[in-house]
Structure formats: structure tokens, C-alpha cells
Structure 1
């Protein structure tokens, strides 16, 4: 067992070296929750890379929780954020509630989804931007590689939200992409507070894939006014209980 762990550790170091931008150490954005950050190479989400997000459970199609999760990440970066989309249904006040204020966001509204990918790639290549968000239905491997290379070249973080128009399209999320991490965010029953009928929203954050790391599930509190999430004490109950909660909604 010890030998196996040593071999795995050496392989991870080699992979990280090969995937790094010419061997340079990457800047990361920690979540501030050790249980999550310890699962991510470098202790956080890497800048100069793309990360993929989708909704789960009842929010698979609309992806509202995933969008707020991404907005919270973008809120904790420094500088302007470019948000590319084809459907004009983004609710800016909701983004402001998780710390991403309108004066930081440059919205790029495209008439076709292909133009969303093109705009996101151009913004990633431009540099000097804190993060680039793109809402897309499909993310082909070739397109994701182009985005990844653009992010590596500029050091900008790319955040890709998969939003589908119908449930059947969600099967596309199983196809491989060049994203450094892949997440699924599902809504759970709210945390009960002392005030009746009021509670902090909770999410099941599934880290489905991470390069040079292992997948994991976390029960987290929704982003606060500064874009920060928190881990709940019942996270040790594991994803099975969380999924049971989703199935009984």
C-alpha cells in the first residue's frame, strides 16, 4: 500500500509538471475551506485554466445554483469579469448578492452559441481580466482545448457554465473536455435557522473531475455577500444522504 501511494504521488507530480505552463507554478484561488482546497492541486482553483460547471438535481436545466457558485468564484478575483452568454436571462441583482457587483462585469451577449465560445476565447487571450465566464450548451473537446490554451497564455481564469434547454441535452456533460476541474452544483434543503421560514441555502457541490487529483462531494452553504461558501458540519454524512434529500424534494 505504501509503495502504491508513492507511485501515485510521483505520477501526480509528473502530470502537474507536464500540465503546468512551461513548468511555472500556478496561481490559485482558494475556497477558504480546507476540505475542498486540499482536494485541489495547489490548494485552490487554478488561474490560467478553465473550469467547468453544471447544475444538478432539479436545477439541471436552468443551472441557477451553478451560475451563483461561479459568480461567487468570480467575485473573489480581482479586476473585471467578462460574462459571455447567448440567452439574456441573467439576473444581475442575484450576482450582486454573492459579491459580483455590476460595475465589475462586462456582459457580452451573442446571437449564437458559437459566438459565445469565440468571445470567451478572445477575452481569455486578451489578458488583464480577472475571469471570463461563458454560458454554453455544448463544449466540444476542440473548443475546450482552445479555451484552455488561451487561459494558459494569459493567466486568466475561465469559468464555463453548461446550460441546457432540455433535460436530454444534459447527457453531453459526460463527454470529456480539457477543463482542469469539472463541478456539478445541486440545490439541497436550506439550513434551518432560529427565524421560522428563513435559512441559508445549501448546495451539494460535486467535484466530478480534477486533473492530478481525486473527485469528491461537499455539502456547502451558498455564497455569502463576498462570494464565500462554507462547509456544513453534516458534510461527514456523505453524498448519499445529500442525494436522498434531493430525491425527496
Structure 2
């Protein structure tokens, strides 16, 4: 009788431990973040980086082609870093085939890690993104749309949590006078990306592209804006070097070449 009671107690303890693990698993999963590797940026983000398994929204700073390209490459760089693990694949739901693959590769997102999913309209693009999120096997999911109401973003947020997959929603401009981020959303962060003048070089030539990176809203933190150098071929941003540092770097490069 005593042995049976002991066995029953052990079963109860084991069941209790399993239930606790199931409760704790989503918390630990949602706590994962992707830092940018820039102290001035990560220190201002509530979690020290971009939280995985949640929704992030990005928009161009203006309806110009330059800002639209900057926002697209910003998204590509983030997705590339989420997909750094071996076999990591990114799903990109689109309504028009206007992505430039060599440009995405320069931002770190190579064609062999990218799966394009073409939709007839925004509603289908959002539905395809939701299905990809719930599948849970992708490193990141991207969808570019012009319209996504609060119900749609709530569904994406829940799907991202269920599938433990980051969702990057690229909001395109519909009208030149209407900001894509003026609609309510359940996104964890909302970003506005625009072009900025390149850092002046000590010699004739074109410097690394610079972006105006503005975080308009984040849960648990304050908005801010920074001037950053565009993504390199690994998807990483950088702080523009100060003028004395650039002069020193140029002098060192010249001496090494000599």
C-alpha cells in the first residue's frame, strides 16, 4: 500500500513538472531576441534587440523609390540574420514581382535561403504569411502589403507566437499623403526607414549608403531615431564613423597599400 502511494505521488510530481515546462516554454521562447550588435541601438530597445516570435512592422520614410528600397533592404538584412542558422529559410509573400534579387543578396539574403510566395492581393498575402508562421519551420516570414487592419495584425502576432517565428510586415505606401504607420497595430515594434546622405569619403567616390532609422513605437520602451550605415552583405548595420576616425582609417589604409 505504501509503495502504491509513493508511486502515485511520483506520478503527480512528474505530471506537475511537465505542466510547468509547458507553461514556461512559451515564455523562454518569446524571450529570444536578435541584437543588432550596435550598442547605441540595442540599448534603446526594450529587450536589447528584436524579439523573435512576434510581429514587427517596417515602412519607408516617404513614398519615394529610394526610401522604399531602403526599407526593403532593412527588412532583408533582419531576415538574413534570423536565417543565419544552417538550413534557415525565409518566406516572402508579395503581390507584385518587383524585388531585385542581387540587391537582397548584397543585404545578406541570398536566393538559396528565400522562398517567394506570390499572392493576388493583400488579403491573400496576409493569409499566406499566417500559414507560414503557424508552420513553424521557417527562420522568418515577410509580407509586403498596403493595407492591414488591426485584426490582421493581431492574427499575425498570434501566429508568430504559435509558430515561434518572427514576422516582418513591410507596409507599402498607398497614397503620398497617408503614412502607412497611421493605422493601429498590435506589432511589437514599428520602424520608419529613409535614405540619408552618405558619409563623406577622404577621396573621390561613393561611400556606404546611410539610412535614417526611426523606431516610432515599441512595447515597453520609448521611440528614437538614429543615423546608420546600410546593411552589409551579412545583413548588419553600422554606426557612421566620426570624422577623426575616418581620417585615421584612411591614413592607415594608405600606409598599408604603400
Q: What SS class does the counterpart of residue 199 from structure 1 fall into?
A: coil
Question: Where does residue 97 of structure 1 map in the other structure?
Answer: 106
Runs of at least 5 residues in structure 1 that lack an aligned partner in the other structure: 1-19, 235-249
Whether 2:45 is the aligned partner of 1:49: answer: no
Question: Where does residue 157 of structure 2 map in the other structure?
Answer: 148
Q: What SS class does the counterpart of residue 187 from structure 2 fall into?
A: coil
Give the counterpart of 1:158 among 148, 167, 172.
Answer: 167
Assess if the C-alpha contact under 8 Å between 2:67 and 2:194 holds in 1.
no
Structure 1 residue 128: Cα displacement: 1.5
What is the rounded CA distance, in whole Å, between the counterparts of 1:136 and 1:227 in structure 2?
22
Question: Where does residue 188 of structure 1 map in the other structure?
Answer: 196
Structure 1 residue 194: Cα displacement: 3.2
TM-score, normalised by the number of residues in structure 1: 0.81
Post-superposition CA distance 1:221-242 (Å, at most 9, x none) = 00001100012256xxxxxxxx
For the aligned residue pairs, the C-alpha RMSD in angstroms reads 1.9
Structure 1 residue 174: Cα displacement: 1.2
Number of residue pairs matched?
A: 214
Question: Where does residue 216 of structure 1 map in the other structure?
Answer: 224
Mean Cα deviation higher: 56-65 or 204-213? 56-65
Question: Where does residue 239 of structure 1 map in the other structure?
Answer: none
Q: What SS class does the counterpart of residue 141 from structure 2 fall into?
A: strand
What is the rounded CA distance, in whole Å, between the counterparts of 1:214 and 1:130 in structure 2?
27
Post-superposition CA distance 1:158-206 (Å, at most 9, x none) = 00101124313x3342121011000000100111223413111000100
Post-superposition CA distance 1:90-120 (Å, at most 9, x none) = 1111000011000000000111111000001
Question: Where does residue 9 of structure 1 map in the other structure?
Answer: none
Q: What SS class does the counterpart of residue 89 from structure 1 fall into?
A: coil
Q: What SS class does the counterpart of residue 41 from structure 1 fall into?
A: coil
Assess if the C-alpha contact under 8 Å between 2:173 and 2:179 holds in 1.
no
What is the rounded CA distance, in whole Å, between the counterparts of 1:130 and 1:96 in structure 2?
16
Runs of at least 5 residues in structure 2 that lack an aligned partner in the other structure: 1-23, 243-258
Once superposed, which parts of structure 1, at least 4 consecutive aligned residues long, lie more than 2 Å away? 20-25, 57-62
Question: Which structure features the higher share of strand residues?
Answer: 1
TM-score, normalised by the number of residues in structure 2: 0.78
Whether 2:80 is the aligned partner of 1:72: answer: no
What is the rounded CA distance, in whole Å, between the counterparts of 1:95 and 1:86 in structure 2?
17
Q: Which has the larger radius of gyration?
A: 2
